[in-house]
Amino acid sequence: MPAPRASLPATNLARTVVFAAFIAVLGMFPGIYLGGSGVPIVLQNAGPLLAGAILGARRGTAAVLLFLALTAIGLPLLSGGRGGLAPFAGPSGGFLLGWILSALVAGLIVQRAARPGLPVLLLATTGGLLADYAIGIPFLGAYTGDLGAAFVQSLVFVPGDAIKVVATAVVAAIAHRALPDTVLRPAVRNE
């Protein structure tokens, strides 16, 4: 069976831009502040998971980097209309930067699968979320001066994030069935 053809550069760019825009659209849903951490519960963190799970590591990460760059230069793309450098320096900063690793991890897991079915996509989105926590919680701990309290405060995110992980995996599974060659996988060599 021949390897899938590489997408055209314009197609790759368009997919990257569309996913950056999709992450911005998810910011239209307002965040909810619970637990006193100063970090809102948002729908927007599902965007990087979906970008990685559908576009793969390189293009998914590029979409997140584009989104974060546009946010950093001042566009109010985060939930609640936040933008500029302040959100990156505040309690949410680590979780925002964690979106980069989130898309990368989800994308790498999907790319390694021969056929990314729902179990692989659940693993990918869970891994992506854990990667976000791995950066976000220590950053919040450094921001507040108490890593233990930051960990406990972050537990408020787990139920909603678990729902987003499952929903994102289901959406990605549907997308992979509809567009099976969306994610470029490493070429298999017959030696």
Give the domain range for residue 152. 9-178
* CB 30 within 8 Å of CB 79: yes
* CB 150 within 8 Å of CB 35: no
- Classify residue 63: in a domain, yes or no: yes
- For the entire predicted model, the pTM comes to 0.87
Count the Cβ atoms, other than its own, within 10 Å of residue 155: 11
- Classify residue 89: in a domain, yes or no: yes
Say which residues have a Cβ less than 8 Å from residue 77's Cβ, sequence separation at least 6: 23, 24, 27, 67, 70, 71, 83
| pLDDT of the chain, 191 residues: tens digit per residue | 444 455 578 888 999 999 999 999 998 887 777 666 667 778 899 999 999 999 999 999 999 999 999 999 999 999 889 999 999 999 999 999 999 999 999 999 999 987 889 999 999 999 999 999 999 999 999 999 999 999 998 998 999 999 999 999 999 999 998 887 766 554 433 33
**pLDDT value at residue 156:** 87
- Classify residue 48: in a domain, yes or no: yes
**pLDDT value at residue 3:** 45
- Classify residue 188: in a domain, yes or no: no
**pLDDT value at residue 189:** 34
- Classify residue 111: in a domain, yes or no: yes
**pLDDT value at residue 115:** 81
For residue 134, what is the domain's CATH number?
Answer: 1.10.1760.20
Residue 120, amino acid = V
- Classify residue 3: in a domain, yes or no: no
- Classify residue 158: in a domain, yes or no: yes
- Classify residue 147: in a domain, yes or no: yes
Domains in the chain: how many in total? 1
Burial track 118-143 (b if 16+ CB lie within 10 A, e otherwise): eebbbbbbbbbbebbbebbbebbbeb
Q: What DSSP string runs through 119-180?
A: HHHHHHHHHHHHHHHHHHHHHHHHHHT-HHHHHHHHGGGHHHHHHHHHHHHHHHHHHHHHST
